[in-house]
Amino acid sequence: MITTSRFYARRLRMWLALFTAAAALLVTWGGRRPAALISVHQSECLPRPTGFIQLPHEISLQDTLDRLGYTVNVPAEVDGHRLFNWMQPAHQSDLSDAIHADVFASGGRSSFRELGVQSLFGRVSSLGIQGLNSKTQQDLWLSSPPGPWISSDVGQTADVSRDQIFTLHLACNVSHISSNANQNADSECHLLVLPALVGGLWIHDSSNFGHWSGGKWTGEFILCWDDGGMPRDYDYQDVVVLASGVLPISST
């Protein structure tokens, strides 16, 4: 009986010590929530801007898409190359929503809208599509206002009404590049494909690092081009195009 009483007494003292420690911890925290619970906040980039916005300088691809109202994670690397960030981006994602694709399929009607130009090499002379079994290229538009600028509703648009599998081609005054790396002079990737996600939450990890979460797909894709200037900077925001009615496909 004495042994049992001592056992319960020790258990009681142990629970009292734990309770005291927990109470002291609560006093120290002062009722604050853990950082993981207070670091989630809704994007201040929404809703999407309207009109033509002339930028004073180039900005990173992540900042570009944030300002356009897309809550999508831009990868840190593309095809083995570190993606270059102009200035100090407000957000740097530690996740990637990139889609590996270099050709596209259309089931009938597809459309393309120019969202921004930040190439400092001059006007884009043409953006076109070319069927895999065709040697002729169809121009979607012939010129763009000189950058840097972004717009969700003012950029040029083009509709294509036919069933086909095609590559996309961007021509400017310094290079002609294809969505298919094998067709490029340097055999490198010049196009980054992302899903058009909106309405997500930015989850803050540290400093300006974190990631978008919970975005809803609009059914469209964002085509992000690196213009191929020499030397390449791998920024993938030189020309940004919104594509609908297409399915990105990898040929490899």
pLDDT at 173: 62
Is 235 within 8 Å of 60 (Cβ atoms)? yes
Give percent helix, percent strand, percent coil of the chain, each to the nearest 5: 15, 40, 45
Tokens describing residue 9 = 């007494």
pLDDT higher for 177 or 30? 177
pLDDT higher for 235 or 252? 235
Task: Inform me whether the pLDDT recorded for 78 exceeds 90.
Answer: yes
Is residue 222 very low, low, confident or very high in pLDDT (cuts 50, 70, 90)?
very high
**Can you tell me whether residue 12 is helix, strand or coil?**
helix
Is the whole-model pTM more than 0.85? no
Q: Which residues contact 55 (CB under 8 A, 6 or more apart)?
A: 118, 147, 148, 149, 150
pLDDT higher for 19 or 192? 192
Residue 232: which H helix or E strand, with range? none
pLDDT digits (tens, 9 = 90+) for 142-163: 777 777 899 988 788 999 887 8
Helix residue ranges per DSSP H, the chain: 2-29, 35-38, 61-67
pLDDT higher for 34 or 54? 54
What is the DSSP track for 16-82? HHHHHHHHHHHHHHTTPPPHHHHSEEE-SSPSPP-S-EE-SS---HHHHHHHTT---PPPSEETTEE
Task: Inform me whether the pLDDT recorded for 201 exceeds 70.
Answer: yes
Task: Inform me whether the pLDDT recorded for 44 exceeds 80.
Answer: no
Task: Inform me whether the pLDDT recorded for 129 exceeds 50.
Answer: yes
Q: Is the dihedral of CA 119, 123, 128, 134 positive or negative?
A: negative
Nearest to 59 by CA among 240, 241, 243, 242: 240
